[in-house]
Amino acid sequence: MAEVVMPRLSDSMEEGTILQWLKQPGDEVAIGDELVEIETDKANMAYESDVAGTLSEILVQEGETVAIGTAIAMVGEGDGTERSAAGPVAGDGGALRAGASSTPPSPTPPAEEAVEAPVDPDGNGRPKASPVARRMAKEQGLDLGKLQGSGPGGRIVKADVEKADATGATGFEPGTAATQTGETGFEPATARPPVGSPETAKGQVSFEDLSKLQSTISRRMAESKATAPHFYLEAEVDMSRLVEARAQIKAGAKEGDVVPSFNDMVVKACALALREHPRANGAYRDGRFELYSRVNVGVAVAARDALVVPTVFDADQKNLRQIATDSRALAQRVRDGQITPPELSGATFTVSNLGMFGIDSFAAVINPPQAAILAAGAISERPVVRDGEITTAHLMRVNLACDHRILYGAPAAEFLARIRALLEEPLALAL
């Protein structure tokens, strides 16, 4: 009998929450099979089993949070006889799955508990869906068993739920929420009663618990502002030549070609500048400077109720199309809830862009322990004076937040000036 313990899925992970068991007691488990979906401090991901056998017992139920190293399940050898000898496992309703054992099943559960959700191709009794899709379906009252998945292996993703919601394909009565209850499928669930006073001067008060990711963001941002002495530098970049260059790239692109966005160009410019300014590509930690040999740029992506920063590794060595391809794939994986902790780790610098929302300028909070973060605003055509005459130019404001413990005023100004020079000379980004 082998223990399956809560794994450490990221360098900062201390505990994890069981979101969904992908195998049930009595199921055969092979090495590499997706066993359980776990919520960490950085992402939700499926954990692949490193042992083979029969899942004999689930020790930690869905929704429970335990520390890393805690036993969450037991896997035995054979075809399920160990489980049947031990009797029904707590939490599975006392009913063995068909074919799991030759031992007679325990007494039949009540009829309302015997309804099973549509079985997925792997036979684990549940529709295959990403954590984001599962939460959205629950909120919108959709029956995942009635949806067609477009993700890998028929997995239901966010877009499938959004499409079903747009067409009104609900599986429940209006006004009810859906709760997944093990092998019993979905049952109507009442909303959580409001906590606190029912009516105040501010109206009715309700409370919402933070996810692991939201808790981590709030803690790290508070620590960053409290411990890293921020200072800010702002510059205005003339993006006119870059706007023209991108228009030419777009006009010459073939069907299916990836056209780099302006944010991809900002990432590339930052990566080249970071290679020339090692302190900006470092961190202050425990009274000393850490300087990194790789230039990995984190790109802030707005996810569902959170801000996630996946990493474009070795951005200084990639061309614009490679950066664009990586960025789009990472952003889509974030929105589908399929991003993994390794893809969220290892960044040495971060770029945050709110220009698509019409924001001209903003000051970002440093992503610790990095030395700096660049905030990019919208590109807009504004009047400028050139050679004594008024004309127009496409301008973008950028704001560099720096940790004064490692990046001082003059070196930081030189670093930002280099980013501006690279953006104003498009040919430099192609090198």
The set of catalytic residues is: 404
Task: Write the CA distances from 409 to 44, 232, 353, 416, integer angstroms.
Answer: 39, 9, 23, 11
Distances in whole angstroms, Cα of residue 263 to Cα of each of 171, 233, 239, 358:
40, 19, 12, 14
CA distance 187 to 250: 50
Distance of alpha carbon 273 from alpha carbon 7, whole angstroms: 37
Q: In degrees rounded to 5, what are phi and psi of residue 25?
A: -50, 135
In this structure, how many other beta carbons lie within 10 angstroms of the beta carbon of residue 184?
19
CB atoms within 10 A of CB 278: 15
Distance CA 268, CA 317 (A): 9
- Tokens linked to 281: 């590509």
Which residue's entry shows tokens 């930002």?
A: 416
Residue 185 three-state SS: coil
DSSP labels, 353-378: E-GGGT-----PPP-TTBSEEEEEEE
CB 142 within 8 A of CB 135: no
For residue 326, count CB atoms less than 10 angstroms from its CB and return exposed for 0-12, middle for 13-18, buried for 19 or more: buried
Contact 42, 344 (CB under 8 A): yes
- In angstroms, the first-to-last Cα distance of the chain is 57
Residue 248, helix vs strand vs coil: helix
